[in-house]
Structure 1
Amino acid sequence: MTGRTRKIVFVLLAAALGACGARAPLAPPPGESLPPAPYGAPGPPDAEELLKLDALAAPERSVELRRRSEEREDDPFDLPPE
């Protein structure tokens, strides 16, 4: 296969995989139900609420930019190869 043929095959494969997305809202399988409502909740959560990540599962990034160069601390695990 030439480089151009590989690129074409890759693009077609990517397009085919991209078309595999969900086409309808999520719902439990037939004959199954969603989990019961948590204690104190007004009603059972729907599928979208069950897929939401809480703050501990997906924490926000804290990006601290360095204002000036700083010496690195000594890393005891930065060992040369044997």
Structure 2
Amino acid sequence: MMAKLSVLGLAMAVAACGSVSPLTPPDGASLPDTPYGADQTPTADDLLRRDALAAPERSVELRRRSEERQDDPFDLPPE
């Protein structure tokens, strides 16, 4: 019986980890200063958003089936 209660308590604790709430800085702290040349201070969501260079989209199509490899003239054995 005790094992079931501990598993239930663990499951409830893990479920509580997934709560969603807006991000705010801790008490006594503030968001970073306004970047040079910016009109306004970015919000927490703005700071978490990645630009295209940080997470580029895949630009090549994945192979869907096996294909013979072309001969690679630079694939040489070690000397």
The TM-score bracket by the shorter chain reads: 0.5 to 0.7
Q: Distance in 1 between matches of 2:45 and 2:23?
A: 7
Q: Which of 15, 18, 42 in structure 2 is aligned with 1:45?
A: 42
Q: Which amino acid counterpart does residue 30 of structure 1 have in structure 2?
A: D
Corresponding residue of 1:4: none
Corresponding residue of 1:31: 28
Q: Distance in 2 between matches of 1:76 and 1:16?
A: 53
Q: Percent identity?
A: 64
How many residues end up aligned between the 2 structures?
Answer: 67
Helix, strand or coil: the match of 1:55? coil
Corresponding residue of 1:76: 75
Label 1:65 to 1:19 Cα distance change in 2 as closer, same or farther (>3 A): same
Label 1:70 to 1:49 Cα distance change in 2 as closer, same or farther (>3 A): same
Unaligned runs of 5+ in 2: 1-6
The Cα RMSD (Å) is 3.4
Helix, strand or coil: the match of 1:48? helix
Q: Which of 62, 78, 82 in structure 1 is aligned with 2:59?
A: 62
